[in-house]
Amino acid sequence: MFSKRTFSLLILLLFTSINHDVFSAEKKGDDFNMGEMIMHHVLDDYRYEIMHGVSIPLPVIIYSDSGLEIFSSSKLFDEGHNALEEGYNGVKYYHGKLKPVDPEFAFIDLSITKNVAFLIMTSLIMILIFISVANGYSKKNTPPKGIQSVFEPIILFVRDDIVKPNIGPHYEKYLPYMLTLFFFIFFGNVLGLMPAAANLTGNIAVTMTLAIFTFLITNFSGNKHYWKHIFWTPGIPLIMRVIILPIELIGLFSKPISLMIRLFAAITAGHIVLLSFIGLIFIFQSFGVGIFSALFVVGLNLVELMVAGIQAYVFTMFSSVYIGLATEEEH
């Protein structure tokens, strides 16, 4: 159970998150554009915005015929934080994207964007935490304590209730990947609810990469019975195999697609709903609406904390199910 101090700190963080989103709105009154505000917060960017007017420029890395060029994203904006029409080094900022100033200029964008920065930060946090947990296990005959006692029940839950029942006797081979998958999604979801956070797990490129990893591991681990079931389904008439084969092939690719879309849609939808209720404050400019929106956002933030764990559980569970189906022996 949460202590009173922990609960108070959680509420403070939630209200801080609300205040950040409120004061980050670019326009107020009749000029307020809710759609623009929501997309600004949900999409990726080349600046890490702490609040309106206060942002940290991130490194822009482009590769072109001239070679690799690295410069600060602040070079793309004037002192009023407006994008420079003439751009810099052949590129310009346009609605969260880099566009060539000259249409014939071709480049590859390798920049450290806000989502990439949060991806690196999430990875570093995981490395620090689990090195500490591993060091705790190196001390034999000592009970878990500190951060080890916090994460040990979660690790055992993932192993005993998600991975082992769904993959079967060979689960240990896939357990490191499943634990990494679960905690990466969970940490990314939770950090995304913090003030001045990035929408990391609400970025479809991130969820697509996770789904591709599961797809590759599943199919490279598939035994002969798995592939036989796809290309020559046993126990059915020959004419039915012609119908079932394309269905099986569609199912082969629909599984990772469903993983990708489910996580992306759940996290992005939650952020959009939160920002929509915050936007009502500027649209109605009413004290009553402001109080209602603030209370609703606090409650929804608490629900989103629960969703953060549920989505990590669901993604890990379905990944385990798919790998288990690919590696199970013939009945």
DSSP per-residue codes, 113-147: -HHHHHHHHHHHHHHHHHHHHHHHHHSTT----TH
pLDDT at 62: 92
pLDDT tens sequence across 104-120: 889 999 999 999 999 99
CB 3 within 8 A of CB 290: no
Residues of the chain with pLDDT under 70: 1-32, 52-53, 80, 330-331
Closest-CA residue to 254 (of 219, 203, 224, 215): 215
Closest-CA residue to 309 (of 204, 175, 188, 177): 188
pLDDT at 11: 47
State whether residue 200 is helix, strand or coil. Answer: coil
State the Cα angle at 40 between 279 and 181, rounded to 5°.
Answer: 105
For the chain, how far is it from start to end, CA to CA, in angstroms? 45
pLDDT tens sequence across 112-167: 999 999 999 999 999 999 999 888 887 777 777 888 888 999 999 999 999 999 99
Q: How far apart are CA 34 and CA 280, in angstroms?
A: 8
pLDDT at 27: 43
pLDDT at 28: 43
Q: Tell me the CA distances in angstroms from 317 to 154, 163, 215, 296, one per residue in order.
A: 14, 7, 14, 31
pLDDT at 3: 53
State whether residue 277 is helix, strand or coil. Answer: helix
Q: Which residues contact 320 (CB under 8 A, 6 or more apart)?
A: 162, 163, 166, 167, 171, 174, 178
Q: How many CA atoms lie within 13 A of 33 on its CB side?
A: 7
How many angstroms from the chain centroid is the CA of residue 14? 19
Q: Which residues contact 153 (CB under 8 A, 6 or more apart)?
A: none
Q: How far apart are CA 252 and CA 244, in angstroms?
A: 12
Burial grade of 280 (CB within 10 A; 0-12, 13-18, 19 or more): middle
pLDDT at 97: 86
pLDDT at 147: 87
Share of the chain above pLDDT 70, in %: 89
